[in-house]
Structure 1
Amino acid sequence: METFALLFSPNSLVSRQRQKLRLLAVFLFTISSAFGQKPGGKLAYTVSMEDPASQLYHVSFRCEGGRGDTLTVKMPVWTPGYYQLMNYAKSVENFQATDDTGKPLQWEKTANSRWKIHQKQGQPIRLIYDVRATRNFVAGNFLDENHGYISPAGVFMHPEGQLNQPVTVTLKPHSSWGHLIATGLDSVAGKPHTFVAPNYDILYDSPILLGNLEQLPSFEVKGIPHYFIGYKLGNFDRQQFVADLKKIVEGSVAVIGDIPYKHYTFIAIGPGGGGIEHLNSTSISFSGEQLHSRAGKNRLYNFLAHEYFHHYNVKRIRPVELGPFNYDQQNRTRMLWVSEGFTVYYPYLILKKAGLMSEEEVFSALQQNIASYENKPGHLFQSATQASFATWEDGPFGRSGDEAYKTISYYSKGPVLGAMLDFKIRHETRNKKSLDDVMRALYLTYYQKLKRGFSEKEFWAECEKIAGTKLPELIDYAATTKEIDYPKYFAYAGLAIDAALKELPGAFLGISFDIQNDSLVVMEAEWNSPAWKAGLRKGTVLLAIDGQKATAQALGAMRKDKKPGDSVNLTVSQNNQSKDVTAVLGKQSERRFDIKRLPKPNPLQAAILQAWL
């Protein structure tokens, strides 16, 4: 499981803040004691960065208590929260092994992410290695002159068979940096920049941000402190942002009704990529410049609410396959459409009830999810459960390239299924129950009582128990490519949805393109479109259109001047060979799925809509 918190060094802030820091240190020590963690330990890491411009973390790992005459250490191949193989081991350089006196030990690399060290039985050993940190991404490792970000699965090797052992980590920030460090690891009293984890699951779940950082004002929800700390936050109204962030947290907590952590930290890595959830924090890319427009604020607040709500949905309310983890291979589940998709859906309602998103914006967000799913051919080929299982190969947003048409994104279909399930439960129970009751039941039963994840069968059993009826159609919608009856389900909530197929004006070729070196390069040819049938694929270069140089203007004029059924002659380059092809232009049709209130809802529909919003 992933976990995060915040540690402040007493030397990091001016003297007027020292009393607050001492209180926080007591608070963190209390948490450490509650976990039953003991300082010291037999597995200890030291991470230094004396030359951050080199983008190398220097790691020293002292390991004692090994048995036998060999020790095998491994680097994870992925990190929880990002369902892709990362090949962290490729970034390891200058590996060495010595005994405790510095005498070299024999070792060999027996697999891509595995090293075997020959040792004297029971004697401590020390591993020394560098990790190249060049990927500015929440699942990667990054280091430059001003800050560093550590994704622990990509830095800390673990002894085979010892994942449940306690671990200590000592950090040595560059001397020019501030002393503020953000991490979920609890501090060791009396040892600056030294942290402890009860096991490797917690260690790998606790990224570290350090450098020249900024802390925003903290806030409390139900007496629990929440922090926001980051790098290069940008220019924005910090006071208003923190006030809005507090509303997002309060709205999320209201869904489940319980706060399961002692402190929570939003860790902003600055300009970079992605967001990963943790048990009591989230690691996010962030720029406050987005807050200067309504659209940018909506995107950012939905992103923050999504990552925050994940501490419930996927970290605690989770499929049974997602923990305990196997760090040597993919951990597959058919339920990411719930874990990720529902965590797209809930922020819409959380932000609406917090006054941060309008009714029309909620409708528009769901409309975009439906259109993104339905107007791509992948909905004919892949179900939500299949997309969940295949994400390790396909990626979270489906495949790219020539086979993109065969896949969907559970980020698009998942929130729509969540909304429909919510509407169905409200309808069947006459607005006495909702999807919230399902989420709370899963949290109480599987996280709190059974302390495990739920199976797919158990998930649907809880849904049917709350709804008071069987849900075969919704189960089919998740597990098959069956056509969805949107008007039926949205009408339960007093909403009309336009699912009619509409023909778009102009002739249709079916490509998206980019301009590279003054040439039109096909980025995607839509499946079964005129371009697809003519053999155009991603990477095809358009050289001429009806004998004229291919430009964006010429392509636009062709679409406008020609009509469906007309032919267009294209000169293209594929695999460095030029050829002429003919495409017969067609018609383009799509469904918009605009959502609005029914003009005359019945009393139940009106009540459901009011409660839902």
Structure 2
Amino acid sequence: MFYKRFYLFLFALALITPARGQSAQTDLKYTVSMPEPAKQVYKVKFECNGVNREWIDVKMPVWMPGYYQILNYADNVSHFHVQGQGTDTVKWERANFNTWRIYSNRAARLTITYDVKAIRNFVATNFLDEQRGFIAPTGTFMHVDGMLGQPVTVTIEPYGKWSRVATGLEPVPGKQYTYAATDFDVLYDSPILTGDLEELPSFTVKGVPHYFIGYKPGQFDRTAFISELKKVIEAAVDLMGDIPFKHYTFIAIGPGGGGIEHLNSTAISFDGTGMNNPESRKRMLSFLAHEYFHHYNAKRIRPIELGPFDYDKGSRTEMLWVAEGITSYYEAFLLKKAGITSEADVLKKFEHHILNYENKPGRLFQSVSQASYDTWADGPFGRTGDDVNKTISYYDKGPALAMLLDFRIRHESANKRSLDDVMRTLYKEYYQAKKRGYTPKEFRTVCEQAAGVPLGDFFEYIYTVKDVDYPKYLAYAGLKIDTAAKPAAGAWLGISGRERNDTLTISAVDWESPAWMAGIRPRQILKSIDGKPATMQSLRDIAGKTAGSIVNLQVIQDGTLKSFPVILSTNHTRSYAISRMPNANKLQAAILSSWLREGK
């Protein structure tokens, strides 16, 4: 962020201290300019001095930590050029998809220049237009292979009259728009936004300033919003008992979707739409609570695979159900503790997670640990577009299991310990003391130490597709859950459609529905129903028939018109509604009260 505030003298001293194993003369610095933003191209200059090798490889990461997908940033690079001292051009060649090999012949100074296309407005990619520029550092800054631990500085040259820069990086004293990182992990974890930006009122928590700055945040009651946001942040800090940074910045990139956590900032899509509506504001505050809590859980309390990062391949872990799922779990309680949501809101949130998980056939095929590991291929919400979705989302099963784990720990410890204690222990023992992430075995050990008993039966839910015994675990907190299957109204065919230009395409077929069992699949064309042209209305009308009736469908499969007689049936659904038991005992009542953050 562009500050009119004091700078940290000790940090500035650290910047001039060479990384272990590197020459004291090594100097790495970048300049990013945007002289013609309408062309949506950043111009990057990388001054690489003092490396002194026969040849060096410079690499562009293929992903951004926090967004577990390969993004192929190197595809956006063009006009790569290397200059030595004076005007000498240095030979180079493309070594592979994300590596450029420079035959530097031990040159003391190299200036590497390249363009970066910036056309996708998303929190993990570069974007530039005539109003603002968002710099995704992993998609902008190349690094010298083997020198990720080296300090680096970045200078931004904003376009025209732009005067604001928002970032979590430390400003270099006396140099406008120049920022420093102690190593590339810090640089790659610090997005940058510049442009016609606005700043909302700042606030402090335990003396640490928190800023909210972005592009066109919209018109709403900013004071009320910031007041509520501060309460959410205070709830997070009270829970963990520590703030591991000197300042924090919410970087709002404008309308769109998504948010990504970083060490002392988060990049979020935000345009203020609906922020004067209480329910919309709750959803946004929940989203911000999630991203903020990530600076504890994911960035510092982290699976051991998530740091040091593999910027060439990505870093797979089976523990995203903890890093993401447990973070989603705590969203509910940060807002509840802040006085923004009610008990009903909390229970409804977990009903929603359970419904989303239980209503997917993927629960029969994929464990939550597999979903964590396979997110690189499947995506964070599971695969879409398959005939049957055999994947799940750790954003649904993760928080649901976190709730059960919390209840189990509270029950076994007579409400003396909870999942909160697990998170604090992981923070202190692994992040602060051991300065590393935890293994799956270590996570389980900490949970069992908090509970005081083995938790093998619970951890089966992590590594298998075993049916979850919700009633057993919710009863620990004096809660009940409606898992009874009830018949839905109307006859059930199991087809969803999409109509366009008088063509009805089958968009989805329910798993093991009458249509599925007959052999009908998504992406096929539904031509007729009972001899009449198929329309969305005639498809909807099938629900008005009686279960056991026969409906005759004509469907185009692989270019061939086929007939399918289908016997309609009754669909059975479960509500998973959660409510209080009428006669909870003393321990159950105490667990529920403390879980809901009552009287704290």
So what's the TM-score if we normalise by structure 1? 0.93
Match of 1:18 in 2: none
Tell whether 2:140 aligns with 1:160: no
RMSD (Å), alpha carbons: 1.8
Match of 1:60 among 41, 45, 48: 45
Match of 1:331 in 2: 315
Match of 2:448 in 1: 464
Q: SS in structure 2 opposite 1:139?
A: coil
Most deviating of 293-302 and 372-381: 293-302
CA distance in 2, matches of 1:43, 1:549: 68
**CA displacement, residues 253-279 of structure 1 (integer Å, 9 cap, x when unaligned):** 111111111111111111122111111
Contact 2:15 2:180 in 1 (8 A): no
Q: SS in structure 2 opposite 1:513?
A: strand
Structure-to-structure mapping, 1:283-294, within 5 angstroms: 283-294=267-278
Tell whether 2:223 aligns with 1:228: no
Match of 1:366 among 330, 334, 350: 350
Q: SS in structure 2 opposite 1:489?
A: helix
Match of 1:602 in 2: 585
Tell whether 2:96 aligns with 1:111: yes
Structure-to-structure mapping, 1:369-384, within 5 angstroms: 369-384=353-368
**CA displacement, residues 416-441 of structure 1 (integer Å, 9 cap, x when unaligned):** 11111111111111111111011111
Contact 2:381 2:392 in 1 (8 A): yes
Match of 2:340 among 346, 353, 356: 356
Q: SS in structure 1 opposite 2:87?
A: coil
CA distance in 2, matches of 1:371, 1:401: 20
Match of 2:434 in 1: 450
Contact 1:402 1:537 in 2 (8 A): no
Match of 2:2 in 1: 7
Shift of 1:309: 0.5
CA distance in 2, matches of 1:605, 1:247: 28
Tell whether 2:115 aligns with 1:126: no
Match of 2:231 in 1: 247
CA distance in 1, matches of 2:32, 2:102: 21
Structure-to-structure mapping, 1:313-328, within 5 angstroms: 313-328=297-312
Structure-to-structure mapping, 1:162-561, within 5 angstroms: 162-177=147-162, 179-402=163-386, 404-560=388-544
Most deviating of 504-513 and 156-165: 504-513
Contact 1:341 1:411 in 2 (8 A): yes
What stretches of structure 2 of length at least 5 have no aligned partner? Answer: 19-23
Shift of 1:511: 2.9
CA distance in 1, matches of 2:426, 2:521: 45
Match of 1:90 among 55, 75, 81: 75
Shift of 1:516: 3.3
CA distance in 2, matches of 1:404, 1:317: 35
Q: SS in structure 1 opposite 2:301?
A: coil
Contact 1:77 1:328 in 2 (8 A): yes
**CA displacement, residues 169-204 of structure 1 (integer Å, 9 cap, x when unaligned):** 111110132x11011221122221111111111111
**What's the % identity of the aligned pairs?**
53
Most deviating of 237-246 and 578-587: 578-587
Contact 1:426 1:608 in 2 (8 A): yes
CA distance in 2, matches of 1:398, 1:494: 32
Q: SS in structure 2 opposite 1:136?
A: coil
Contact 1:37 1:197 in 2 (8 A): no
Distance 1:407 1:129, change over 3 A: same
CA distance in 2, matches of 1:394, 1:255: 33
Matched AA of 2:441: K
Matched AA of 2:67: Y
Shift of 1:282: 1.0
Contact 2:387 2:521 in 1 (8 A): no
CA distance in 1, matches of 2:566, 2:108: 73
CA distance in 2, matches of 1:513, 1:268: 37
Shift of 1:64: 1.8
Shift of 1:579: 4.2
CA distance in 2, matches of 1:41, 1:168: 12
Match of 2:7 among 24, 27, 35: 27
Match of 1:612 in 2: 595
Contact 2:387 2:522 in 1 (8 A): no
Q: SS in structure 2 opposite 1:214?
A: strand
Structure-to-structure mapping, 1:586-601, within 5 angstroms: 586-601=569-584
Match of 2:29 among 16, 38, 44: 44
Contact 1:47 1:58 in 2 (8 A): yes
**CA displacement, residues 285-338 of structure 1 (integer Å, 9 cap, x when unaligned):** 112223233432222111110000000001111111110101011211111111
CA distance in 2, matches of 1:67, 1:572: 68
Matched AA of 1:591: R
Match of 2:554 among 571, 577, 581: 571
Q: SS in structure 2 opposite 1:330?
A: coil
CA distance in 2, matches of 1:295, 1:574: 44
Contact 1:29 1:187 in 2 (8 A): no
Match of 1:138 in 2: 123
Contact 2:7 2:171 in 1 (8 A): no
Distance 1:591 1:406, change over 3 A: same
CA distance in 2, matches of 1:292, 1:540: 43
CA distance in 2, matches of 1:582, 1:110: 59
Matched AA of 1:342: I
Matched AA of 2:372: S
Distance 1:49 1:574, change over 3 A: farther
Q: SS in structure 1 opposite 2:397?
A: helix
Matched AA of 2:2: L
Contact 2:15 2:151 in 1 (8 A): no
Q: SS in structure 2 opposite 1:210?
A: strand
Shift of 1:517: 3.7
Higher relative contact order (CA 8 A, sep 6+): 1
Match of 2:56 among 71, 89, 93: 71
Matched AA of 1:470: P
CA distance in 2, matches of 1:144, 1:33: 36
**CA displacement, residues 472-508 of structure 1 (integer Å, 9 cap, x when unaligned):** 1111011111111111110111111111111212122
Match of 2:21 in 1: none
What stretches of structure 1 of length at least 5 have no aligned partner? Answer: 1-5, 9-20
Q: SS in structure 2 opposite 1:53?
A: helix
